[in-house]
Amino acid sequence: MKLFHKLLIFNLLGKGLFLLLFLMSGPYLLSYLILKNTDRQLIEKKSEVLALITAGGIESFISEENPEEGFGSYNILKEEYILLEKSAGERFLEDSIFVEKRIIEEEEISYRVYADLIEINGETYLLEIGRSLSTIEQIETIFYRIAIGILFSFLALSFFLDSMISKRIMAPFNKIIQTKIARINEPQEFHDQSIQSTTQEFELLDQAISEMMKRIQKSFNQERVFISHASHELKTPISVLQSKLEAIFGDENLSPYQSEKLMDMQNTLQKMKKSVNALLLLSKVNNAQFIKTEAADLKKILEGLLEDWVDIADDRGIVLRKIGVDPFVFPQTNFSLCQMMIQNGLSNAVKYVKESGEISLSGKKYDDRYEVLIENDGEGIDEKILDQVKNGLVFLKDVTKEKSGFGLQIMFKIAIFLGVGLEITSVNGKTRVLFRFPIEG
Amino acid sequence: MRILLVEDERALAKEISDFLQSEHHVVDAVSSKKMASENLAVNSYDFALVDLGLPDGDGLDLLQDVSRYQKDASVIILTARTEVGDKILGLESGADDYLSKPFSLLELKARMQAIIRRKSGWRKDVIQLGGFEIHLNEPLVAFEGQEIKLTKKEYILLQFMLINKNRVLNRFQLAEHLWGDQLDDEYQSNYIDVHVKNIRKKLGAYGQVEWLETVRGLGYKLIG
């Protein structure tokens, strides 16, 4: 999982947990706060009532003729009421707040009641101010909904902001990985340009990767120069020898014995030349010294190889068959290497196939790949040995067949360099060489 | 033709020089960039064969002198260096061909002839041989106006033997011309026999091909 997504999920989970806590504790908390607020408002109302009594006298609430009747008032929806009556005794302690049911117009309603005993003109009166609990609960519900709405909005907004900020913070990291590692297929492609960042850790990472890439690049360049020098030193004397041999070979007065010896020398020189070329080719492929800017028409390559090899196979009593070749052009590759790789596969098949055997060659296009398959009857190579060849640990020197042993190694190395999958399997006396060319989406 | 050979490896320079002289060319062999520049400024050449790794600098620099003083001269780069960049730069700087060492002298001759044919405007170049018409500029072989179908490799092989007619060509030289360094296969010289056999079979259906001789134990020779 990407660090960016991890940060985002972590933030979201943290805030989500907070929201969950609120959802669980919110009703109790809100209820407590609203009751506290209601109580405060009820106490304030007591002051207002006292001010009215002081201004208008108790008579404006309780008639002198019938003082036992008291005063009661409530609003139209019965949400609030005020009761003032002569105290019948010590029913309440001063400043009592409680919840109690009251019957108003034959309707029983629960109220939050503030009750107090007040003294006016030597008389003790009971003052009750109440607010219906349903009103309080309604307020609670509204507040709760508003709070949840705000919190969810906050959560969404914070997710969006987190995403933006994280993206911005992580941008230099992504740029470092993309420009300095992911897009660098060969060390030569690396250009040392520092990535701007205000995050110290990313600056350090950028520097560390740049240093590492420069070391790899330097080592590659040194190897390239070495290969170039080695190539010159090895190939020049071979050139001289070859030219001298050719010059003697052109002499028409050579005796058969001399001609035979010359051919032997030529043969040995050819082997030496091939080995040097193969070793240099392997080094160059390893050192990525081939351009990959060409397109290879695999159908043309396969049909060309078939034309070249069908007679050679036929001469050895082998049937070389084409089993369907779909058209496909492999882009951004090295044409010569691509052709060499498949040709080595085919030449190996011709060499190792059983007498009067059969070789089939096919090219099939799938959605995500193009497969070139060379299948032949014949003994395969042990899987363990193949692995060693693939990893460059051994060369398959076959003395009986006078083989240099570089062919397979070259095939594997080219496949890796060109980004082509290569599988060699041997089952029931049949060998399959499968080249898998990826097709970019 | 007058040829300037720029090669610091004296032994190789001598062999190339001797070979080209045996082909009736005049060869000026020099071993440094400075000497090559002087010769290019003074003499007139048809061909410059330039080695890249010279003791006093890069042979690629000489391509500027060639384009300045020898506008009609053709250039073949001869090198043992392996860097792809050299090849691209060489061809981009005006070289006509690039030959990697070690190469066969006959291959050099074939490349030179191909350049001459190309520069002469692809004029029709047909060789008559025992009633057969072999076209050098297009893959076409005919007998009394009847086209004979050869594979690409067979045609290249026949063309190479024609360029080097009356000379014994061994299987290694022929294989190198056909496959270059592409095929890591010790059998490839035997494959030459298969191709020659097919050429004989295909052409033999129309007329005598005794002009294509097998030189026992050595290779093949085209008599013409």
State the 10-residue block means of pLDDT for chain A, 441 residues long.
81 86 84 87 89 86 79 81 80 73 80 87 86 82 86 88 87 88 80 87 92 90 82 84 85 84 86 84 83 91 91 88 92 91 89 84 94 86 70 56 68 91 83 92 69
Best of A240, A280, A333, A341 to disrupt the B interface by mutation (most B CBs within 10 Å)?
A240
Closest CA to B160 of B112, B98, B203: B112
The verdict on A249 touching B (C-beta cutoff 8 Å) is: yes
> Which residue on chain A is closest to B108 by alpha carbon?
A243
CB contact under 8 A, A259 and B217: yes
The overall longest dimension of chain A from CA atoms, in Å, is: 163
Sequential DSSP letters for A323-342 = EEE---EEEEE-HHHHHHHH
Residues B6, B72, single domain; the answer is yes
Residues shown for chain A:
441
Element containing residue A306 per DSSP (H, E): helix A298-315
pLDDT at B138: 78
> Of B119, B138, B168, at which residue does a domain stop?
B119
Closest CA to B82 of A283, A237, A414, A228: A228
Residues B80, B168, single domain; the answer is no
Region of residue B50 (phi > 0: left; psi between -120 and 50: alpha; otherwise: beta): beta
pLDDT in tens, A379-397: 667 777 777 766 666 555 5
Helix axes B152-163, A298-315, angle to 10 degrees: 70
pLDDT in tens, A205-261: 999 999 999 999 899 888 878 887 887 788 888 888 988 888 888 777 888 888 888
> Of B119, B142, B172, at which residue does a domain stop?
B119
Q: Which of B15, B186, B197 sits opposite A240 (nearest CB)?
A: B15
Q: Which of B80, B181, B194 sits opposite A312 (nearest CB)?
A: B194
Taking contacts as CB-CB distances below 8 angstroms, the residues of chain B near A221 are: none
Taking contacts as CB-CB distances below 8 angstroms, the residues of chain B near A270 are: 172, 189
CB contact under 8 A, B152 and A307: yes
pLDDT at B202: 93
Total beta-carbon pairs less than 8 A apart between chain A and chain B: 125
CATH number at residue B211: 1.10.10.10
Which domains are assigned to chain A?
Answer: 3-140 (no CATH), 200-286 (1.10.287), 294-438 (3.30.565.10)
Helix axes A335-352, A298-315, angle to 10 degrees: 30
Question: Residues 317-346, chain A: which have Cβ within 8 Å of B?
Answer: 336, 339-340, 343-344
Sequential DSSP letters for B153-188 = HHHHHHHHHHHTTTSEEEHHHHHHHHHTTS---TTH
Q: How far is CA A64 from the centre of its chain?
A: 87
Residues B54, B143, single domain; the answer is no
> Which residue on chain A is closest to B52 by alpha carbon?
A232
pLDDT higher than threshold 60 for residue B20 = yes
Residues B110, B159, single domain; the answer is no
The confidence band for B216, taking pLDDT boundaries of 50, 70 and 90, is confident
What does the block give as tokens for A6? 């991890």
- Which is it for strands B126-129 and B132-135: parallel, antiparallel or unpaired? antiparallel
pLDDT higher than threshold 60 for residue B122 = no
Q: Distances from the Cα of A151 to the Cαs of A21, A26, A141, A154, A160, in angstroms?
A: 12, 12, 15, 5, 14
Residues B145, B200, single domain; the answer is yes
What pTM value is reported for the model?
A: 0.67
Helix axes B152-163, B171-179, angle to 10 degrees: 130
> Which residue on chain A is closest to B217 by alpha carbon?
A260
Residues B102, B170, single domain; the answer is no
Residues B162, B100, single domain; the answer is no
CB contact under 8 A, A236 and B80: yes
Sequential DSSP letters for B123-142 = ---EEEETTEEEESSSS-EE
| Cα dihedral A55, A60, A62, A63 sign | positive
CB contact under 8 A, A312 and B11: no
Tell me the residue type at A383.
Answer: E
Tell me the residue type at A417.
Answer: F
pLDDT in tens, B59-102: 888 988 988 888 889 999 988 876 666 667 777 778 899 888 88
Tell me the residue type at A212.
Answer: M
Residues B114, B23, single domain; the answer is yes
Best of B22, B79, B101, B103 to disrupt the A interface by mutation (most A CBs within 10 Å)?
B101
> Which residue on chain A is closest to B191 by alpha carbon?
A312
Distance (Å) from the alpha carbon of A188 to chain B's nearest alpha carbon: 12
Phi–psi pair at A434, nearest 5 degrees: -120, 120
| Model ipTM value | 0.76
Closest CA to B21 of B41, B1, B36, B50: B1
Alpha-carbon distance of A177 to B112, in angstroms, equals: 50
Alpha-carbon distance of A104 to A74, in angstroms, equals: 9
Q: Distances from the Cα of A209 to the Cαs of A1, A216, A223, in angstroms?
A: 22, 11, 21
Residues B87, B44, single domain; the answer is yes
Residues B19, B90, single domain; the answer is yes
Residues B60, B160, single domain; the answer is no
The verdict on B198 touching A (C-beta cutoff 8 Å) is: yes
pLDDT in tens, B140-199: 899 988 999 999 889 989 988 988 888 888 888 888 888 876 665 666 667 899 999 999
CATH number at residue B73: 3.40.50.2300
Tell me the residue type at A325.
Answer: V
Domain that holds residue B91: 2-119
Tell me the residue type at A189.
Answer: E
Number of domains, chain B: 2
Q: Strand B146-148's sheet: what is its strand order? A: B126-129, B132-135, B141-143, B146-148
Residues B79, B136, single domain; the answer is no
Distance (Å) from the alpha carbon of B124 to chain A's nearest alpha carbon: 26
What average pLDDT does the segment B103-108 reach? 89
> Of B119, B149, B165, at which residue does a domain stop?
B119
pLDDT at A60: 82
> Which residue on chain B is closest to A260 by alpha carbon?
B217
Exposed/middle/buried for B150, CB within 10 Å: 0-12, 13-18, 19+? buried
Q: Across-strand partners of B133?
A: B128, B142
